[in-house]
Homo-oligomer: A and B are copies of this chain.
Amino acid sequence: MPADTAASAKFTPRQSAVLAEALRLLVEGGDKALTTSGLARAANCSKESLYKWFGDRDGLLAAMISFQQSKVRTSDRSGERLSAEALREHLEVFARDLLDVLAGDVSLALNRLAIGQSSRDGSKLGKLLLEHGRREIDRRARALIDAGKRSGLLRFADADEAYHTFYGLVVSDLHVRMLLGETGLKDNGRQAQKAVDAFIALHGTQKDSGEAPRASAAR
């Protein structure tokens, strides 16, 4: 039993390679391009192995989600003490990371897949994606927001509500637009900055020590 990372604990290296190839196919051509025959051909494995490892096609899809998310690790360095500037910086980094993740082609492809399947499988993949995929990033955001409150820098009644507000400010309709195939998206860094400005304006305790960023936000 190798002391591997938790990532490859659930899958053998061979299986991981096959899953990576499956993700590549999915990203390239959508779920129509992800056929068992095609995957077997592209990954140099047999269909029989696929069915042995993953059961059926849905099992394969679930494994792909699990595999991809086991690779995503959020850096959780929220133990430090927070100044107002540090909080703003952390929020901005988080917002930018969130947008980058959502805009990633693998994430988009998996979300498209789960959304497409949600009508016919009782949204099993959707649940998987929401629960396992967002847990990490949610925890990180909530830790950050809680730390902001503990440090007296943020003020809100319900942390959950505050987080959803922040999420909405950061993402707006960008996620759905990207899912629909819109390509020309704005600068993530700029969007993150504006969202953080608005969030702090809403829930910050100290009334703006200079609204410079927001005032110069002419686009």
Contacts and interface: CB of A to CB of B under 8 A. Distances in A.
A5 B114 CA distance: 37
A33 B112 CA distance: 18
Contacts of A30: 116, 118-120
A61 to B, nearest CB: 13
Contact of A130 (B122, B126, B180): B180
Contact of A129 (B127, B175, B180): B180
A158 B201 CA distance: 17
Chain A interface bracket (under 10, 10 to 19, 20 to 34, 35 or more): 35 or more
A22 to B, nearest CB: 14
A6 interface: no
A110 B96 CA distance: 30
Nearest to A212: B202
A190 to B, nearest CB: 10
A177 B130 contact: yes
Contacts of A130: 177, 180, 182
Interface in A103-128: 109, 111-112, 114-116, 118-120, 122-123, 126-127
Majority secondary structure of chain A interface residues (helix, strand, loop or mixed): helix
Interface stretch (A67-75, A79-87, A164-172): A164-172
B176 A175 contact: yes
A142 interface: no
A218 interface: yes
A181 interface: yes
Interface of A: 29-33, 109, 111-112, 114-116, 118-120, 122-123, 126-127, 129-130, 157-158, 161, 164-165, 167-173, 175-177, 179-182, 194-195, 198, 201-202, 207, 209, 215, 217-219
19 contacts: A29-B120, A30-B116, A30-B120, A31-B119, A109-B119, A115-B115, A118-B179, A123-B181, A130-B177, A130-B180, A157-B218, A157-B219, A164-B172, A165-B169, A168-B169, A171-B172, A171-B173, A176-B179, A198-B202
